[in-house]
């Protein structure tokens, strides 16, 4: 754990202390900048890779043939979302990961639906951010 002196709060490489309290923006660009050391080209590359893998990650959840496949898909989405600071997606992916044993339930379908909405929001945010550069 590190202390962000400018903000007076603790920061973690895994995101906010409470992932159930999402940041205001779909992607925490300050978080991403810490890991890219402010390298704009690297930020763009990482965000591009993240956007490219989102549809595949959702498709993997939808087509998971067993609890193991579901958990792997959710875990991967959680990790990549945390890496870029997409806390809402990370939180939902964490919830999905916990549902692996009961993946054929309405709760799983609702989680996927909420993930799709968060993915859409994050994608739109990143595209708008890229256009402003």
Q: Establish if 101 belongs to a structural domain.
A: yes
The answer on pLDDT for 8 being more than 90 is no
The answer to the question of residue 6 being in a domain is: no
What is the tens place of the pLDDT at every residue in 28-66? 999 999 999 999 999 999 999 999 999 999 999 999 989
Which neighbouring-strand residues pair with 10? 3
The answer to whether residues 89 and 123 touch, using CB atoms and an 8 Å cutoff, is no
55, two tokens: 């549809």
Q: Is residue 65 part of a domain?
A: yes
In a domain, 70, yes or no: yes
**pLDDT above 90 coverage of the chain, percent:** 68
Q: What is the pLDDT of residue 103?
A: 63
Query: What is the structure's pLDDT at 89?
Result: 97
Overall residue count recorded for the chain in this entry: 133
Give the structural domain span for 49.
26-132
Residue 11 has pLDDT above 50, yes or no: no
Residue 8 placed within a domain: no
CATH (domain of 125): 1.20.120.160
Q: What percent helix, strand, coil does the chain show, rounded to 5?
A: 70, 5, 25
b/e sequence 7-17, b meaning 16+ C-beta within 10 Å: eeeebeeebbe
- 7: in domain: no
Among the residue ranges 2-6, 84-88, 126-130, the one predicted with the least confidence is 2-6
Q: What is the pTM of this model?
A: 0.80
Residue 132: per-residue pLDDT: 86
Tell whether 4 is covered by a domain. Answer: no
Bigger pLDDT: 5 vs 20 = 20
Is the predicted pLDDT of residue 94 greater than 70, yes or no? yes
20 is a domain residue: no
Residues 81, 63: Cα–Cα separation, whole Å: 20
Q: How many domains does the chain have?
A: 1
Q: Count of CB atoms within 10 A of residue 128's CB?
A: 9
Average pLDDT (81-109) is: 90
């Amino acid at each position: 754990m590190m202390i962000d002196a400018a903000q007076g709060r603790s920061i973690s490489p895994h995101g906010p202390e409470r992932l159930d309290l999402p940041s205001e923006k779909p992607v925490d660009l300050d978080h991403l900048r810490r890991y890219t050391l402010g390298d704009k080209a690297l930020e763009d590359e990482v965000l591009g890779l993240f956007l490219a893998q989102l549809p595949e990650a959702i498709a993997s959840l939808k087509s998971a043939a067993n609890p193991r496949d579901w958990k792997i898909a959710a875990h991967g989405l959680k990790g990549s979302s945390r890496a870029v600071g997409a806390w809402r997606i990370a939180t939902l992916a964490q919830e999905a990961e916990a549902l692996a044993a009961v993946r054929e339930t309405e709760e799983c379908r609702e989680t996927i639906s909420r993930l799709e909405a968060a993915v859409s929001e994050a994608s739109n945010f990143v595209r708008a951010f890229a256009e402003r550069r």
